[in-house]
Amino acid sequence: MAEQRGNNIRHIVIAGGGTAGWTAAAALARVLGTRDYEITLVESEAIGTVGVGEATIPTIHAFHKMLGINEVDFIRATQATFKLGIEFRGWGSADSRYFHPFGQYGREFDSVPFHQYWLRGSKLADCGPLSDYSLCTLAAERNRFLPASQDPNSILSTLGYAYHFDATLYARYLRGYAENLGVRRIEGRVVDVALRESDGFIRALTLESGQAISGDLFVDCSGFAGLLIGGALNVPYHDWSHYLPANRAVAVPSENIASTKPYTRSTANVGGWQWNIPLQHRTGNGLVYSSDYLSDDEAVSKLLEGLEGKALADPKLLKFTTGRRQAFWHRNCVALGLAAGFMEPLESTAIHLVQTGISRLLMLFPGHEFSSADITEFNQQTATEYEYIRDFLVLHYHVNSRQEPLWQHCRDMPIPETLSQRLALFRNRARIFERDEDLFKRASWLAVMMGQGVIPQGNDPVVDGRPAEKVMGMLHEMRRLLRSGAEAMPSHDQFIEQHCRADKHSMDLPEVNPPTLNATV
């Protein structure tokens, strides 16, 4: 039992398990400890989790470092593979293809971004495509992988990577971590949420068994239902369907039949797009679509037709509305994951938003007073992050040249003014500015805009003053070094086999002894 200390809250109750709930439990237990805080997670085995989000982005490294997670242990326990970026097929024209890398393009060496030199050089001679200056892209094309280097002099320092993993195994891994630190799990379905008459704060959760669980701070990880933030506290939901019309997804795992790609694949089609995510033990597949342009039966048929290997289960249908809560923290309740909002999985941001939400909560962790300034800051930062991600997702849909009705609609629809300004800056002289709370940096915006045919009218005039022979010499040498670096890497499968192949016991609940020193493969 945690000891009451001064004006600090004592009992934190997390409603819901899955990736969001156990991520919150693990981080709270790691940072706060369970001597001064009692942390209880309530979940019901009878309630399924969405569990289709299997791809991540490089920000996961910082979260794992905070937890002290050993990378090799984590990879083996979750059947993970490595992810250098996303291959997009059919997102410009129907036969187009480009790669969104996690690393940078070229190497920054003065105050002018590298891509401006590439634009200048391309006016002078054939400098090759921009993708020739991305180590991630070159490695992905060859199915090769090595981790990034922390040595700024190494060509590997330009590379970034994330993971593909089994989301159910990841939640299980974090559960083992959290329980070993003292988090208490209670099995049961929440049937009622009691509020205090004095201020409308949540007082307790009532389970189907009749057990009441009181607390000071409640974390809503109840998924789309939003039992606390929406159901009990009536916080409205901002619908972004007018910007992002996809409202359904169908998902199915399949057998691995070929070498394991170190990237996610996203293939646009008539009514949406299909994902392909390779894990060690299977491949994750799904089709995201708009029900206005594709029926559920048509979506299932298209998904199954597009599988590379045999389906391992029946397709699972999900319905959603892209958007976010008007407030993510209201009174003594903080919403994480699907209870907070839903950004479709196009750029693998779901787990990131859970982890930044819990990190932000820890930075603004409340006392009994629940300061309105803290709550306002949390909500403003989170809303800005969601909106910047929204704009990046809308970009993919908007700058297409496909002819089907869905894509014509997306090309013609009004877009956020914030996105219009970004596009105008790029179309003029290829300028890209990174803003606070902006998850996707210059290389990401550059990859999508150039990959989908947004061609700038000119380059930054500053680079026009650089000597042409030096610009061309730098581009030639950098292109050579990056290509030789990619060709020297081992294959993705070879690297996994040598360093982190899961064994037959990896499906069992892992024995985790946190914290450990972070180890890199």
Superfamily in which the 11-54+166-239+324-370 domain is placed by CATH: FAD/NAD(P)-binding domain (3.50.50.60)
The residues, any chain, with a CB within 8 Å of residue 403's CB and separated by 6 or more, are 94
Query: Using an 8 Å Cβ cutoff, are 180 and 514 in contact?
Result: yes
Q: What is the Cα–Cα distance from 60 to 470, expressed in whole angstroms?
A: 38
Residue 430, φ and ψ in degrees, nearest 5: 60, 35
Q: What is the Cα–Cα distance from 403 to 409, expressed in whole angstroms?
A: 10
- The residue among 275, 54, 66 whose CA lies nearest residue 163 is 54
In this prediction, residue 503 carries a pLDDT of 85
**Residue found by looking up tokens 């990577």 in the block:** 161
- The residue among 336, 82, 30 whose CA lies nearest residue 74 is 82
In this prediction, residue 426 carries a pLDDT of 98
Q: What is the pLDDT along the chain (521 residues), one digit of tens a residue?
A: 444 455 689 999 999 999 999 999 999 999 999 999 999 999 998 776 555 558 999 999 999 999 999 999 999 999 999 999 999 999 999 999 999 999 999 988 788 999 999 999 999 999 999 999 999 999 999 999 999 998 988 999 999 999 999 999 999 999 999 999 999 999 999 999 999 999 999 999 999 999 999 999 999 999 999 999 999 999 999 999 999 999 999 999 999 998 999 999 999 999 999 999 999 999 999 999 999 999 999 999 999 999 999 999 999 999 999 999 999 999 999 999 999 999 999 999 999 999 999 999 999 999 999 999 999 999 999 999 999 999 999 999 999 999 999 999 999 999 999 999 999 999 999 999 988 889 999 999 999 999 999 999 999 999 999 999 999 999 999 999 999 999 999 999 999 999 999 986 544 433 333 332 222 22
3-class SS letters over 447-505? HHHHHCCCCCCCCCHHHHHCCHHHHHHHHHHHHHHHHHHHHCCCEHHHHHHHHCCCCCC
Query: Using an 8 Å Cβ cutoff, are 437 and 388 in contact?
Result: yes
Domain ranges for the chain, please list them. Answer: 11-54+166-239+324-370, 248-319
Query: Using an 8 Å Cβ cutoff, are 56 and 162 in contact?
Result: yes
In this prediction, residue 48 carries a pLDDT of 62
Alpha-carbon Rg for the chain, nearest whole angstrom, is 24
Q: What is the Cα–Cα distance from 476 to 472, expressed in whole angstroms?
A: 6
In this prediction, residue 510 carries a pLDDT of 38
Catalytic residues: 83
Tell me, what DSSP letter sits at residue 105? B
